[in-house]
Structure 1
Amino acid sequence: MPPSAIAYAELYVTDDREASGFLIDSLGFVPLAVAGPATGTHDRRSTVLRSGEVTLVVTQALHPGTTVARHVEEHGDSIADLAFSCYDVQSCFDRAVLAGATALQQPTPSLRCGQDSWFAAVSGFGDVRHTLVAATDDRAGQLPPDRDWAFLPAATGPAAPRPVLDHVAVCLEAGTLRGTADFYEAAFDMPFYSSEYIEVGDQAMDSIVVRNAEGGITFTLIEPDDTRVPGQITQFLHAHNGPGVQHLAFLVDDIVGSVRALGDCGVAFLRTPGAYYDLLAERVSDMADAIADLRETNVLADRDEWGHMLQIFTRSPYPRGTLFYEYIQRNGARGFGSSNIKALYEALEREREVAGR
């Protein structure tokens, strides 16, 4: 059977205490467990963090020349592993390798003390790997199985949203989009969900969304159109030195309230020009009563044939800008806000023209 959900995302970072501090103090994640020399892992130090249904693992190398150290040197602070929950690790591994994935870890018993399950690992896009872990109803079971862990006392975080992982946005090099989408369908049974070519002034990008049948894994794959002027996707590929996870999107029930709470915790969001909201009533006519709150919080709005969605992006807290976070509220909408890219560009152009008068 194919993978069912993303068990966790692991970040390799320069400073794990600083990176964990941001996620705990600003985004409201709660520390669950730690691994390092005291638990038998001598080349790295890791902390498992959880908020709502999202599990992140923050890892720092303890010695130069290790896998973690080389990743951070090559790609900056960024996602190194998107782990998949599997009902049958062996069959997931076999299918992925047959589809062309590199076997990074043959199926082997978990190294976690007291856990009687198997795990494996295969290559994904770029240098991102997919650890295949046994699916379980025990939330504490969704931890990296390649090391042992010491669980921390129960803790509570600041007043912040408790999200679900809506999707993972992946930046790819030009010319690799279709092949990557085909690979994820063949390797992990994540078929084509939607696609769109987006033009923004002199820039353009192409995108394909792939999603598994259960809806627990959604990748928005994006490549730049290299016949046009370089834009944000090319900028990410340069900073990350190749393909990688551009952002994680967190689904919340009340985005305006969430943004206010996160802002009180010091989270910096991208600002939206006022002209965007001047035009918003024309784009999403039934949201007139909400525009004042959206303008105050810099939240963007979009509509598709199923409903509307609200979204906002944080500024990257990492030195090379190699990862940021999105918050999203879906009111029936199934899209990913591509109209907002165009609307923001038009609003910026309008403000530029007004300033030039």
Structure 2
Amino acid sequence: MASETNPLGLLGIEFTEFASPDTDFMHQVFIDFGFSMLKKAKANDIVYYKQNDINFLLNKSKQGFSADFAKSHGPAICSMGWRVEDAEFAFNEAVARGAKPADDAAKDMAYPAIYGIGDSLIYFIDVFGEAQNIYKNDFEDLAEPMIVEEKGFMEVDHLTNNVYKGTMEKWANFYKDIFAFTEVRYFDISGAQTALVSYALRSPDGSFCIPINEGKGNNNNQIDEYLGEYNGPGVQHLAFRSRDIVGSLDAMEGTAIKTLDIIPEYYDTIFDKLPQVTEDRDRIKHHQILVDGDDEGYLLQIFTKNLFGPIFIEIIQRKNNLGFGEGNFKALFESIERDQMKRGVL
């Protein structure tokens, strides 16, 4: 039920919608990640992909909101569907709390929606679960579905927003004031040449987080590079929660998905700091997985290089740890800077 601590009755993420001038490439990346292509929307050219509790929509429509969004941003996450108890109630309550209704948008789906980060859409979905869901109601089976072996990705752990300098607090307040997200972390991160600051917010139902990044210092940092290429603020990356990150990466070997390079010296001391890690250490080194934790637990994480324009994917496995890999920020930041140098950005 909606409550003071969860005023819209938010219950998690239902789908992420992608649009791109090159949808064939996105399709192949989804397949490489282990998503099966199952259905197509009855009303327009939207294809549905699934892996466990992660639902992707690839919008191939040539007209409408998503097509226009891709023209402005290139490959993009143009909308998300968030689960709520009552879609109309959540929409009305969001608008009453200051959200901008998306009634004027040429929406590709007939669900109530508001404008979110970078004028992407947040749809409110109150039909979800195995018994009844939007994919049964509004989609039809493909004549030739593509069923692939899943890669162990269970759900979206978090999604990170990149915003212009001076607007991080504005966007944090958007999520706090409308949805009642709570702040769980604040980061001030520096590499050799660039820096950023970040708020991490948790949804009121506790099912996912949204870190918000703002660049700091010179304009060649990774956040400003994203904003320039993407033509505005938006979703920088999605994080997939894996039940077995080593197994997931083993299954992805041979695909076109490339991950960031980590300096070998990182592994000289990491297992001394975290001796409780039970996963195969040679495989961790082989895949260049980052490890972080404390006395109570640890996490393993890895980041792809940019996949869709400036958007990338994080893979994370949590073992009694709800952090974001704070102990890895320096190594990760320097890895991103090295990648920027290779691409001529720094």
Q: 1:32 to 1:339 in 2, by over 3 A?
A: same
Task: Please say if 1:341 is aligned against 2:329.
Answer: yes
Matched-pair contact (CA < 8 Å) for 2:153–2:248 = no
Tell me what 2:80 maps to. 82
- Counterpart-to-counterpart distance in 2, 1:184 and 1:243: 15
Which deviates more, 284-293 or 308-317? 284-293
Shift in alpha-carbon separation, 1:125–1:139, aligned structure 2, 3 A: farther
Aligned pair in 2 of structure 1 residues 230, 317: CA closer, same or farther (>3 Å)? closer
1:19 to 19, 26, 48: 26
Q: Is the 8 A contact 1:16 1:46 kept in 2?
A: no
Give the Cα–Cα distance (whole angstroms) in 1 for the partners of residues 335 and 140 of structure 2.
50
Task: Give the distance between the partners of 1:310 and 1:141, measured in 2 at CA.
Answer: 32
CA distance in 1: counterparts of 2:185 and 2:206, whole angstroms: 14
- For structure 1, the residue ranges without an aligned partner over 5 or more in a row are 113-118, 350-357
Counterpart of 2:15 in structure 1 is 8
Listed one character per residue, the Cα deviations across residues 278-318 of structure 1 (whole Å, up to 9, x for unaligned) are: 24235434449843221111111111464211001122333
Deviation at 1:49, TM superposition (A): 0.4
The within-5 A match list for 1:312-327 is 312-318=302-308, 321-327=309-315
Work out the percentage of aligned pairs sharing the same amino acid. 26
* Larger-Rg structure: 1
1:203 shift after superposition = 2.0
Gap change, CA 1:344 and 1:72, over 3 Å in 2: closer
Question: Which digits, 9 at most, give the CA deviation of each residue in 1:296-355, with x for residues without a partner?
Answer: 11111111464211001122333xx23211110111111111321213457899xxxxxx
Q: 2:237, 2:314 within 8 Å by CA — same for their partners in 1?
A: yes
Q: C-alpha separation between the residues in 1 aligned to 2:164 and 2:109? A: 35
Comparing 199-208 with 163-172, greater Cα deviation is found at 199-208
Matched position secondary structure for 2:158: strand
- Bigger drift between 193-202 and 306-315 goes to 193-202
CA contact (8 A) 1:172 1:223 kept: yes
Is the 2:38–2:147 contact (alpha carbons within 8 Å) kept by the matching residues of 1? no
Higher mean Cα deviation, 155-164 or 213-222?
155-164
Mapped partners of 1:246, 1:61: distance in 2:
23
* Paired residue secondary structure (2:112): strand
Find the counterpart in structure 1 of residue 91 from structure 2: 93
Aligned residue among 295, 298, 318 for 1:330: 318
Deviation at 1:158, TM superposition (A): 2.7
Instruction: Return closer, same or farther for 1:229/1:74 CA change in 2, 3 Å cut-off.
Output: closer
Among 198, 204, 223, the alignment partner of 2:189 is 198
Q: Take 1:248 and 1:268, find their aligned partners in 2: how far apart are those partners?
A: 15
Q: What is the DSSP-based 3-state SS (H/G/I as helix, E as strand, rest coil) of the residue aligned with 2:94?
A: helix
1:238 pairs with one of 220, 228, 253: 228
TM score, norm. by length of structure 2 = 0.85
2:38 counterpart residue number: 32
Cα separation, partners in 2 of 1:206 and 1:135, compared to 1, 3 Å: farther
SS for the counterpart of 1:152 is: strand
For 1:39-188, list aligned pairs within 5 A. Answer: 39-41=42-44, 45-63=45-63, 66-105=64-103, 119-138=111-130, 141-143=133-135, 148-152=138-142, 156-158=147-149, 160-188=151-179
Q: Using the alignment, how far apart are the partners of 1:239 and 1:85 within structure 2?
A: 30
**Is the contact made by 2:179 and 2:204 (CA closer than 8 Å) also made in structure 1?**
no
Please say if residues 276 and 347 of structure 1, whose CA atoms lie closer than 8 Å, have aligned partners that are also in contact.
no
Residue deviations 1:93-116, cap 9 Å, x none?
12211222111139xxx978xxxx
1:218-266 superposed Cα distances (whole Å, 9 cap, x missing partner): 21111112x3463111111111111111111011111111111111444
Q: Shift of residue 123 of structure 1?
A: 0.8
Farther off after superposition, 327-336 or 303-312: 303-312
Q: Indicate the residue corresponding to 2:340 in structure 1.
A: none
Q: CA deviation at 1:68?
A: 2.6
Deviations 1:140-198 (A, max 9, x none): 614498xx422237763135223211111111111111121111111112122222221
Q: Which amino acid aligns with 1:49?
A: Y
Q: Is the 8 A contact 2:80 2:123 kept in 1?
A: yes
